[in-house]
Amino acid sequence: HPDAARHGHLAAVGVAFLLGAALIRVLRGRGWFAARAEPALIDLLDIVALGTVADVAQLKGLNRAFVAQGLKIMAKRRNIGLAALIDASRLTRAPLCHDLGFALGPRINAGGRVGQADLGVRLLTTQDPAEAARIAAQLDQYNEERRAIEATVQEQAEGLLAAQGNRAVAVIAGAGWHPGVIGIVAGRIKEKAGRPAIVIALDDTGVGKGSGRSISGVDLGAAVLAAKDSGLLIAGGGHAMAAGLTVAANRVDALADYLDERLSASVAKARDDRALLIDAVLAPAGVNPDFVAAIEQGGPYGAGWPAPLIAAGPMRVIKADVVGNGHLRAIMAGDDGRSIKTIAFRQAETDLGQAILGAPRDRRLWVAGKAKIDDWGSRPAAELHLEDAAWAD
C-alpha cells in the first residue's frame, strides 16, 4: 500500500529493505531466531544505496539515510561483487554518491541492456572473488558496447528532435532502437531540449517500449499514469523525474498530443523558473580540495538534494578544448593569476560551450557550477563542473 505511508519517494529496493526489516521483526517476536543467527540486514545497505541512486529516487527522508549508510558499508568492500565492480570501474577511492549513478549503476544495468540481466544478480550474490572479477570485467565490456549502441540511437533521436517543434514534451520514436539504452538517450534529449523527453523503441510487432526523463517542476510519472488510465498506453508509470511506458506504434502521436495538452503549462513555468540559485560566491583560489571536502560533509547529493552551486570569478579563459564525447574542458584564471580547472559535460556545441571556446583573452566572465575533486591524475585537484557562465564586463 504505497499510498498508506509517507514513503512514496522510496525506490523499489528501499521498499524491499523495509519489507525485510518488518519480516525479521515479526520472526524475532515469534522466537524464530532463538536457535539460529539473525540476518544482518544492515550489511545490505550498500546494495540499497546503489539501487536508490541508480533509480534516480529523491534523496530525502529514508533515502538519504539509506545512501549515506550504504556508502559507508560499500567503502568496507564487504560485498565481493561490488568490490570487483568498483575495481573494474577503475575507481581508486571509496565510491561517492555520484559514482553510484554514473559508474557502478550503468555497469550493473549493462547486462540487461544486452539480454543478460542475470549477470548483475550473480555479481551481487557471488561469494567467489574469481567469479566476481570475471563477471565485473564482462559487465564493464558490455557497458562499453552499450555506449556505442547509445551513441547511435542518440544521434538518430537528435535528428528527429527538430520535428517536435514547440511541444511541451519531446516524444521521439524509432524502429529498431535498442530498448536498453532509451532511458539514457531520453536523459540526453532532455538536457539538449531543456524539456521533458520520452524516447520510444518500436519493435516489429507494432509495440513500443518507452522511457522518459523530466525536468524539475514537471511530474512526468503522474502524466504517464494518467495517459495509461485514459487508454492511450498498454502500460505505464513512474515518478516525478522518470517514467516508463508501453504503447502501440499507432498511438504515439496521440500520446504526444495528450502530454502536450496536459503538461504545457507546467513545462512553461518550469522553464521560466530555471534561474540558477547560487549558494556561494568564491574567488578562483577558493575552489580547492579543502573547500570541496567541506561541501561533501553535507552529502550525499543527488536527485532532490543537489550539491551547492558555486559562482567563481571574474576570470579569463586561458585554455579551452573539447574532450571525450563533446565535453568542454577549460582552464581559467582570476586577476591574481590563480587558475582553476573546469569541465562542462556534453556542452561543447551549446551556447555555453561555444562562448567559452571563443572567449577573447581580454574579456572576463563569471562561471557557475559544482565543485568536485578530479582524482584521475597523480594528484587530486578541485575543479568546477560548469552549468552556466556570464560575461563580467
In this predicted model, what pLDDT tens digit does every residue of 352-390 receive, in sequence order? 999 999 999 889 999 999 999 887 666 778 999 999 999
Structure confidence at residue 2 (pLDDT): 54
Distance CA 323, CA 167 (A): 32
Q: Class assignment of domain 165-272?
A: alpha beta
Closest to 221 (Cα-Cα) out of 190, 191, 245: 245
CATH of the domain spanning 2-146: 3.90.1640.30
Same fold, 2-146 and 280-391: no
Neighbour-count burial of 224, counting CB atoms closer than 10 A to its CB (0-12 exposed, 13-18 middle, 19+ buried): buried
CA angle (287, 290, 291) in 5-degree steps: 45
Structure confidence at residue 389 (pLDDT): 94
Q: Where are the domains of the chain?
A: 2-146, 165-272, 280-391
151 Cβ partners below 8 Å, 6+ apart?
Answer: 325
In Å, how far are 314, 367, 368, 382 from 389, measured between CA atoms? 10, 4, 6, 18
Q: 180, 146 in Cβ contact below 8 A?
A: yes
Strand pairing class (170-175; 197-202): parallel
Q: 196, 223 in Cβ contact below 8 A?
A: no
Structure confidence at residue 193 (pLDDT): 87
In this predicted model, what pLDDT tens digit does every residue of 283-317 receive, in sequence order? 988 999 999 989 988 889 888 888 999 999 899 99
Distance CA 138, CA 119 (A): 9
C-beta atoms surrounding 112 within 10 Å: 16
| Helices (H), ranges, 180-232 | 182-193, 220-229
> Please, what is the average pLDDT of the chain?
91
CATH of the domain spanning 280-391: 2.40.50.140
Q: 233, 258 in Cβ contact below 8 A?
A: no
**How many residues are listed for the chain in this entry?**
393
Distance CA 277, CA 133 (A): 43
Structure confidence at residue 5 (pLDDT): 59
3-state secondary structure (DSSP) of residue 242: strand
Cross-strand pairs, 321? 329
Closest to 336 (Cα-Cα) out of 377, 270, 278, 285: 285
Distance CA 269, CA 217 (A): 8
297 Cβ partners below 8 Å, 6+ apart?
Answer: none
C-alpha cell, 303:
536527485
**If the chain, 393 residues long, is cut into consecutive pieces of 10 residues, what is the mean pLDDT of each piece?**
67 94 95 92 96 90 94 96 96 91 92 85 96 97 90 92 88 93 91 92 96 92 95 92 95 96 92 81 90 90 88 94 91 91 90 92 93 76 92 87
